[in-house]
Structure 1
Amino acid sequence: MTSRTHTVANQSPPLADHDVFTTDAALREGVAHYVSEEGAARLAAELSELGREAGSAEAQELARQANESPPVLRTHDRYGNRVDEVGFHPAWHRLLGRAVEWGLTGGRGEPGGLLRRAAGFHVWSQVDAGPGCPVSMTHAAVPLLRAEPSLAEVWQPLLTSRQYDPRPAAAPEKRGALAGMGMTEKQGGSDLAAGTTRARPAEGAASGMYALTGHKWFCSAPMSDVFLVLARAEGGPTCFLLPRVLPDGSRNVFRLQRLKDKLGNRANASAEVEFDETLAWRVGEEGRGIATILEMVAATRVDCVTGSAALMRRAVALAIHHATHREAFGGPLADKPLMRAVLADLAVESEAATALALRLAAACDGAAAGRSHDRYLLRLAVPAAKFWVSGRCTALVAEAMECLGGNGYVEESGMPRLLREAPLNSMWEGPGNLQALDVLRALRTEPNVLHAFLTEVGQAAGADHRLDAAIKEVLTELSDLQGMEARARRLAERIALVLQGSLLVRHAPPAVADAFCATRLGRDRGLAFGTLPAGLDPAAVVARATPVP
């Protein structure tokens, strides 16, 4: 007979086998704002299919396996030949392969394609953020190759392919390809101009090829087929496309020194790599490498915002699900006024992040279609959004974990993996200070960005007095741009918050918009999550964010 002490009671059921897209009102409705009614229905059907996969117990188990069996570096084969390969658990290949098959490495060249891709990225990142790194870099690499038509002809069809092909092989033998990146060096970090990797025209090699010698401190996704790297040529820092396997089928010199032992993102590999007369093709002009590769960085920064929004949504969904099914002090935990206030505050932060991420994606579509407003808006909004949304992610996930109490601190809850993952997007593609300084740089050098920002947020003018006041505060801050550097983080924060407030006032339910404006733009709030002022409707906010009724 089973002992009574072994009876399991008052534990929330697993949050599994639900549709991650359809049950996320902020994402579902946000996507619909930017497409036609017919297009919204078609896109919702596609995203719902992916959402059911992402919310399945099987997908979550794959993520667990991939993170508990991290990549393994294999420098030599059994005979002593240098191979420099990274081995992955089969679960990783299934997760990354599904991302490629769904089209998360593409999205360009079709109306609304970047919005579709961003929504899919949001959905699939809730399974695990690891595959997002190679997916993002592959997606971002394509526009750079257009500067070199001969390279684009070979690599663009492979990088946008929906066939996942992890084999190390020459381009003609591949069904699809992935791209990585190698910019930072140990002596320079974010100061890309300080790099010491050298490039010289290769003797006897194909036209346009250079020989690179140097060391990269961070090489993202080192199992990829090609890499965009920076090296110093005679004309200055230059961008290069470096293949793992050369056109003749031989291995390029790509010496993996070690894999990084990271806090999170453990299913994905990051490495130190050494070049020794390594062959690569020049992309763009000599001396223009930093400007060239920053075009790629802008796209990956948008993914940092989207990926952080996805982590926030997953954490909030887990917290609300737990509190809905957990009984405490005579009733459901979610019905307790203080817990409801915390959950509502977290839900507002999550919805604001999602709204801003989708607006960036829609602006990317608009910029690709030639709309100057979207192009100028992106120049300011991308660094501001990355600074704020990716920075808020860690605090939100930590608070959401606390909603589960001790259960949240246990690995099986999934919360620890989210917490380890949360800080990454703040540091990838430039930490917070770099983003804040980029906001300043945009305002100082491109006057049209301020007009685009004011036009964007002005669409909600008069709808909420707290938003109107916040817009005026930003303009006051901008009165002294030259002496602003020490206050750059404050400015980036305010710009991001005003953008979020404008989007929620225009598109979100009144309960959400009111809560956001009161707590993020108004004066009546505390510094901790859950310190909501009186007069709001937290129950309506929590109900909207509940993943499973």
Structure 2
Amino acid sequence: MAATTHTVTNQPPPLVGHDVFAVDRALTEAVERHVDPELLDEVRDELSGLGRTAGSAQAQEWGVQANDNPPKLRTHDRYGNRIDEVEFHPSWHRLLAKGVSAGLTAAWTRPAGHVRRAAGFVVWSQVEAGHGCPLSMTHAAVPALRAEPKLAAEWEPRLTSLVYDEGLRPAAQKAGVLFGMGMTEKQGGSDVRANTTAARPLAVDGEYLLTGHKWFCSAPMSDGFLVLAQAPEGLTCFLVPRVLEDGTRNPFAIQRLKDKLGNRSNASSEVEFDGTWAQRVGDEGRGVRTIIEMVAATRLDCVLGAAAIMRQAVAQAVHHCTYREAFGGTLIDKPLMRNVLADLALESEAATTLGMRLAAAYDRADGSAGEQERAFLRLAVPVAKYWVTKRCTPVAAEALECLGGNGYVEESGMPRLLRESPLNSIWEGSGNVQALDVLRALQREPGALNAFLQEVGRARGEDHRLDAAIKDLLTELADLDGIEARARRLVERMALVLQGSLLVRYAPPAVADAFCASRLGGDWGAAFGTLPHTLDLGSVVERARPVA
């Protein structure tokens, strides 16, 4: 009977067979804005190639398979020997191989490297978010290792390689390596100065043996790790190779894998060090200052990863509503649904535009404007990390609702996005940690605030609501006494003013107008879909459409 009675109608076609990069107007325009014209064709071609792969049915199936088949811990071999290995589904390795070959770990050695890498990270993370963790940590390890030039010279060519070389072998025998990171411990969490892992110096300068634990160590099958431990002079950064030069395994006991809300494809583990050989990175007692370069880079990836989830959620919602009919017409043509979609699209575009501006600052950090850009990043990264990652979960949830009951079903992919959405607000420091870091920069580094205000001020006079918001922000910044209790509110306002400034300068008038009217002008409700009805919402939604 099913063949004659169960005719499927009024369902959207799968969102496959498209170029994820080319259809993302906010992302493509950011690349055009921040990449030198002489490189632009090369970068666009590269990103469109990655975008076509990301939009293919095959790559999307890899993402589903990696998520549905989480990693498995093998502590011992059949004979009882300790091996501490994690098995992944083949799709995990396919995803990682493509990410590495696309240059997502090679930003530091390529022209316009950070912008092209950030755009690629946004594109490829939309296939599956979990494998972005080792890609991010490998990318971010480079600036931290540069604190120890000899180690950087040895490891950087492997870290920035375009070859994914699977398996545990001595790093010198591999065409490319991945890195992880181990900072937090059970008793301290974000308070890494409470770490108890001990580092005992050996006779050879710069070599130590570590004893202790790490409560969160992601991607434990990586080739090396940057970790924090207590040396005689205080908390210090160390490089821990997974396999030693002679081929033996460095003591690295994986106690268990975390059972997480989302990010299921990625192995997050608890590990124990017991006489684990390590090399010092930077000076003793300067561990936080050394590893902070890595943390800053991974915090930017939290912004980019959240932007990727938002973009995928909005694309799925707009695509569904383009085809789905109800109450006498397509959903996208219904004024109330159009308001919801436009509101979601604004949040997505603002996140992408801000993330790409930060990536461009990294590219410019070594140029004539280097000092200014580095000062800007000092404040803008934690501001963006706080706000963009906070907005990710409500965007994913509202986009899911746009699909109705279909969105609540696993096959839609929307539940996976929703489970993934809180991660970036927690990883590399939760919201309070980011807000306190902003306060620290405001109090100790006046150059950072000057650079931030100069960036925001480039749009002054272009929109009266933005001008009023800047004035209010300056008033709030003038009084930092007792600011900690209201730090979240301050950081939120800083983020919105920065996003507003960028959109006023770079986005189409309909987008900038809607953002300033709602986020800065106060004409906005607590839920998505409460934009002023007089705005050009149709243009905002059309700009977010994932296929023609």
Q: Partner of 2:497 in structure 1?
A: 498
Does residue 416 of structure 2 align to residue 417 of structure 1? yes
Q: Partner of 1:69 in structure 2?
A: 69
What does the per-residue CA deviation read over 1:408-461, in whole Å, with 9 as the maximum and x for residues that have no partner? 000000000000100000000000000011111111100111111111111111
- Between the aligned partners of 2:60 and 2:530, the Cα distance in structure 1 is 33
In structure 2, give the amino acid aligned to 1:196. Answer: T
- Between the aligned partners of 2:20 and 2:267, the Cα distance in structure 1 is 26
Does the 8 Å CA contact 2:219/2:267 hold for their aligned counterparts?
A: yes
- Between the aligned partners of 2:133 and 2:110, the Cα distance in structure 1 is 23
Does residue 357 of structure 2 align to residue 359 of structure 1? yes
What does the per-residue CA deviation read over 1:152-203, in whole Å, with 9 as the maximum and x for residues that have no partner? 2221111111110121111221111000000000100000000010011135
User: Which structure 1 residue ranges, 5 or more long, are not aligned?
Assistant: none
Q: Please identify, of 369-378 and 261-270, the stretch whose mean Cα deviation from structure 2 is larger.
A: 369-378
In structure 2, give the amino acid aligned to 1:509. Answer: P
Q: Partner of 2:460 in structure 1?
A: 461
Does the 8 Å CA contact 2:510/2:536 hold for their aligned counterparts?
A: yes
In structure 1, give the amino acid aligned to 2:73. Answer: L
What does the per-residue CA deviation read over 1:339-393, in whole Å, with 9 as the maximum and x for residues that have no partner? 0000000000000000000000000111133511111110000000000000100
Which of residues 296, 308, 331 is equivalent to 2:294?
A: 296
Q: Partner of 1:6 in structure 2?
A: 6
Shift of the alpha carbon at 1:148? Answer: 1.7
Q: Partner of 2:399 in structure 1?
A: 400
Equivalent position SS for 1:9: coil
Shift of the alpha carbon at 1:3? Answer: 4.7
In structure 1, give the amino acid aligned to 2:146. Answer: R
- Between the aligned partners of 1:216 and 1:494, the Cα distance in structure 2 is 35
What does the per-residue CA deviation read over 1:220-279, in whole Å, with 9 as the maximum and x for residues that have no partner? 111100000000011000000000101111110000000001111111110000000111
What does the per-residue CA deviation read over 1:301-345, in whole Å, with 9 as the maximum and x for residues that have no partner? 000001100100000000000000000000101100000000000
Shift of the alpha carbon at 1:38? Answer: 3.5
Does the 8 Å CA contact 2:109/2:160 hold for their aligned counterparts?
A: no
Does the 8 Å CA contact 2:35/2:115 hold for their aligned counterparts?
A: no
Q: Partner of 2:380 in structure 1?
A: 381
Shift of the alpha carbon at 1:508? Answer: 0.4
User: Equivalences for 1:123-138 in 2 at 5 Å?
Assistant: 123-138=123-138
User: Equivalences for 1:218-237 in 2 at 5 Å?
Assistant: 218-237=216-235
Cα pair distance change 1:172/1:36, threshold 3 Å: closer
User: Equivalences for 1:229-248 in 2 at 5 Å?
Assistant: 229-248=227-246
- Between the aligned partners of 2:240 and 2:491, the Cα distance in structure 1 is 35
Q: Partner of 2:476 in structure 1?
A: 477
Does the 8 Å CA contact 1:182/1:216 hold for their aligned counterparts?
A: yes
Does the 8 Å CA contact 1:30/1:358 hold for their aligned counterparts?
A: yes
Shift of the alpha carbon at 1:2? Answer: 4.8
Equivalent position SS for 2:475: helix
Equivalent position SS for 1:511: helix
- Between the aligned partners of 1:100 and 1:496, the Cα distance in structure 2 is 31
- Between the aligned partners of 1:26 and 1:170, the Cα distance in structure 2 is 42
Does the 8 Å CA contact 1:200/1:212 hold for their aligned counterparts?
A: yes
- Between the aligned partners of 1:297 and 1:257, the Cα distance in structure 2 is 25
What does the per-residue CA deviation read over 1:467-508, in whole Å, with 9 as the maximum and x for residues that have no partner? 001111111111211311011101111111111101100010
- Between the aligned partners of 1:388 and 1:360, the Cα distance in structure 2 is 14
Q: Partner of 1:44 in structure 2?
A: 44
Does the 8 Å CA contact 1:63/1:91 hold for their aligned counterparts?
A: yes
- Between the aligned partners of 1:369 and 1:137, the Cα distance in structure 2 is 25
- Between the aligned partners of 2:56 and 2:546, the Cα distance in structure 1 is 13
Q: Partner of 2:277 in structure 1?
A: 279
Q: Partner of 1:167 in structure 2?
A: 167
TM-score with structure 1 length normalisation?
0.98
Q: Partner of 2:140 in structure 1?
A: 140
Does residue 151 of structure 2 align to residue 151 of structure 1? yes
- Between the aligned partners of 1:184 and 1:241, the Cα distance in structure 2 is 15
Does residue 22 of structure 2 align to residue 26 of structure 1? no
User: Equivalences for 1:527-538 in 2 at 5 Å?
Assistant: 527-538=526-537
- Between the aligned partners of 2:182 and 2:364, the Cα distance in structure 1 is 29
- Between the aligned partners of 2:396 and 2:146, the Cα distance in structure 1 is 39
Cα pair distance change 1:477/1:251, threshold 3 Å: same
Does the 8 Å CA contact 2:99/2:124 hold for their aligned counterparts?
A: yes
Q: Partner of 1:486 in structure 2?
A: 485
How high is the sequence identity, in percent, across the aligned residues?
69
Shift of the alpha carbon at 1:37? Answer: 3.0
- Work out the number of aligned pairs and report it: 547
Q: Please identify, of 505-514 and 162-171, the stretch whose mean Cα deviation from structure 2 is larger.
A: 162-171
Q: Partner of 2:438 in structure 1?
A: 439
Does residue 523 of structure 2 align to residue 545 of structure 1? no
In structure 1, give the amino acid aligned to 2:260. Answer: K
Q: Partner of 2:120 in structure 1?
A: 120
- Between the aligned partners of 1:210 and 1:223, the Cα distance in structure 2 is 22
Does the 8 Å CA contact 2:147/2:290 hold for their aligned counterparts?
A: no
Equivalent position SS for 2:17: coil
Q: Partner of 2:86 in structure 1?
A: 86
Does the 8 Å CA contact 1:238/1:286 hold for their aligned counterparts?
A: yes
Q: Please identify, of 368-377 and 484-493, the stretch whose mean Cα deviation from structure 2 is larger.
A: 368-377
Equivalent position SS for 1:108: helix
In structure 2, give the amino acid aligned to 1:510. Answer: P
Q: Please identify, of 307-316 and 473-482, the stretch whose mean Cα deviation from structure 2 is larger.
A: 473-482
Please, what is the CA RMSD of the aligned residues? Answer: 1.0
- Between the aligned partners of 1:33 and 1:474, the Cα distance in structure 2 is 27
Equivalent position SS for 1:258: strand
Equivalent position SS for 1:480: coil
In structure 2, give the amino acid aligned to 1:316. Answer: V
Does the 8 Å CA contact 1:219/1:271 hold for their aligned counterparts?
A: yes
- Between the aligned partners of 1:76 and 1:165, the Cα distance in structure 2 is 23
In structure 2, give the amino acid aligned to 1:115. Answer: V
User: Equivalences for 1:209-220 in 2 at 5 Å?
Assistant: 209-220=207-218
TM-score with structure 2 length normalisation?
0.98
- Between the aligned partners of 1:523 and 1:327, the Cα distance in structure 2 is 33
Does residue 259 of structure 2 align to residue 261 of structure 1? yes
User: Which structure 2 residue ranges, 5 or more long, are not aligned?
Assistant: none
Does the 8 Å CA contact 1:227/1:243 hold for their aligned counterparts?
A: yes
- Between the aligned partners of 2:358 and 2:224, the Cα distance in structure 1 is 27
- Between the aligned partners of 1:411 and 1:394, the Cα distance in structure 2 is 17
What does the per-residue CA deviation read over 1:106-132, in whole Å, with 9 as the maximum and x for residues that have no partner? 111343111110000010000011111
Q: Please identify, of 458-467 and 165-174, the stretch whose mean Cα deviation from structure 2 is larger.
A: 165-174
Does the 8 Å CA contact 1:327/1:333 hold for their aligned counterparts?
A: yes
Does the 8 Å CA contact 1:154/1:171 hold for their aligned counterparts?
A: no
